Amino acid sequence: MTGTRQLHNIGRRRAYAIWATALAVYVLAVFHRTSLGVAGLIAADRFDINGSQLATFTVLQLAVYAAMQIPVGVMLDRFGSKALIVGGLIAMTVGQLWFSVTDSYGLALCARALLGAGDAMLFTSILRLIALWFLVRQAPVITQLTGMVGQMGAVAAAIPLSAALHAWGWTMTYASAAFLGVIAIVAILVVVKDSPYERGAVEKIKIRALRNSLGEIWRDPGTRLGLSVHFTTQFAPTVFALLWGYPFLVAGQGLTPGRASALLTWMTFVALFAGPTIGRWTSRYPYYRSVMALSVVGAISLVWAIVLARPTQSPLWLLIILVSVTGFGGPGSMIAFDLARSFHRSERYGRASGMVNMGGFIASLTTMALVGMILDRLAPGGPDTYTLDDFRVAMSSQFLLWGFGAWMIWRYRRHSLRRAARVPGAFEALRDGSTLLPGISRDRDDD
């Protein structure tokens, strides 16, 4: 930042130590977020609930996550990453511990809502650390690695968690998972520092000016472009992994539960390896980031169209292609935060990232609801009566959001380029491969 003394080197060992510690926290957050995936039947028995009530756990958790993004962005710019990460860990730890001991459905919902609120504080806080502690050319790849390595938490929430539930039981398993948060809090307090600069790029926001500040950030076409990219790329793998993928593969495509679980795990590994590739590409060609996002959306929608157009169940090789291509949506959604970084100074990055992060989760909740409502109408007898034809209609609702999102990306790409062209040197810097633009986002000389 101009006029601010730099105290620590960026992009070096200290930066990687801070990032690795924060990354471990994000892996834990994803583990907590997806920890109900393999425990659905046990939860239904423990709380004496039906399928719709079980799905409410996931929907409520994501709804709280999405609703918290703007408040979290404001607090992030005001208090910094370290405070928000610690606060998020405390909320998740308490929520998971509460979930481990209650046998009341209502109280369990409150616990999952608290877990969702804590989860909401973490990802954008880590992105802010990356933006401040790494070189411009490093940040896109580090961001991709953060999103993808974090998904290892979903892998840990599958087979290992299932084994723990059967060996230790409900309370001990979830209480042990909660205890990991205590260890993470200590690590964050010891290792993480908000900024390498003398002043931590924390903007002291007055309450009366908050509305104007948020309005300015929202009106920036770069914010809307980032939100559009996140909206369009992220929802397909999220909906597939958290709620409807398993029923689609088992009830619709006739796979065994074991094969369906293996495909969901495979999707996570595909995303893990795709992330660095997309990160390097977007770092090298920032002018074409939104084009890359559109290409990802086009590939996902094409494969889904082929699968859903088949009058019979798809062969296993085609389903492997389906989950593999769908897995690219996660890394594709990380492009959104790189776009936000290009169009905002670092002291506003928290609020901008919060707005961007809302996009994918709004789309995910909308899709979950649409698929559920269509299935309820076509198969009023419940999950035991779902057929391939029912899923063919219900999963086709994704095309509504892909089409709308692609239109938004194309629209705000043009608006963002026009804005960059109005600022001397910014458009040229973008074409030359820079992601921090003179007069727009460049507030430190680190590239």
Q: What is the DSSP string of 108-146?
A: HHHHHHHHHHHHHTTHHHHHHHHHHHS-TTTHHHHHHHH
Residue pair 340/226 in contact (Cβ under 8 Å)? The answer is yes
What pLDDT does 122 receive? 92
**Backbone torsions φ then ψ of 253, nearest 5 degrees:** -100, -5
Q: Quick one: pLDDT at residue 183? A: 95
CA atoms within 13 A on the CB side of 283: 17
Opening angle at CA 55, ends 50 and 61, nearest 5: 140
CATH 1.20.1250.20 in the chain is located at 9-193, 212-435
pLDDT of residue 188: 95
CATH architecture type of domain 9-193: Up-down Bundle (1.20)
Cβ atoms within 10 Å, residue 305: 12
What pLDDT shows up at residue 118? 95
| 197 phi, psi to nearest 5 deg | -105, 160
Q: What is the predicted pLDDT for the residue at 136?
A: 75
Does residue 197 sit in helix, strand or coil? strand
Report the distance separating Cα 280 and Cα 406, nearest Å: 23
Measured in residues, the chain has a length of 447
Res 89: pLDDT: 96
Which tokens belong to 347?
């002291």
Indicate the angle between helix axes 329-342 and 316-327, nearest 10 degrees. 10
Residue 302 vs residues 231, 250, 398: alpha-carbon distances, Å: 18, 22, 12
The CA-atom distances, in angstroms, between 231 and each of 159, 244, 408 are 30, 18, 9
| Alpha-carbon gap, residue 88 to 29, rounded angstroms | 9
Please list the ranges in the chain whose pLDDT falls under 70: 1-8, 37-38, 40-41, 50-52, 158, 198-211, 442-447
Query: Which amino acid appears at position 298 of this protein?
Result: G
The candidate with the shortest Cα–Cα distance to 193, out of 444, 384, 427, 15, is 15
User: What pLDDT, in 10s, does the model give residues 40-87?
Assistant: 667 878 888 766 677 788 888 888 988 898 888 888 888 889 999 999
Q: What is the pLDDT of residues 398-414, one digit of tens each?
A: 999 999 999 999 999 99
Given its phi and psi angles, is residue 381 left (phi above 0), alpha (psi -120 to 50 degrees) or beta?
A: alpha
Of the candidates 173, 175, 74, the residue with the CA atom closest to the CA atom of residue 125: 74
Give the whole-angstrom CA distance, residue 104 versus residue 41.
16
Q: Which residues contact 47 (CB under 8 A, 6 or more apart)?
A: 53, 103, 104, 105, 108
pLDDT value at residue 444: 47
**CA distances in angstroms from 112 to 26, 39, 61, 69, listed in the order given:** 17, 14, 6, 17
Confidence (pLDDT) at 45: 81
pTM for this predicted structure: 0.78
The CATH superfamily holding the domain 212-435 is: MFS general substrate transporter like domains (1.20.1250.20)
Contact 386, 251 (CB under 8 A): yes
Cβ neighbours of 90 (radius 10 Å): 16
Q: What's the pLDDT at 41? A: 63
Q: How far apart are CA 181 and CA 345, in angstroms?
A: 32
Q: Give the span between the Cα atoms of 277 and 372, in whole angstroms.
A: 34
- List residues bridging with 197 in a β-sheet: 6
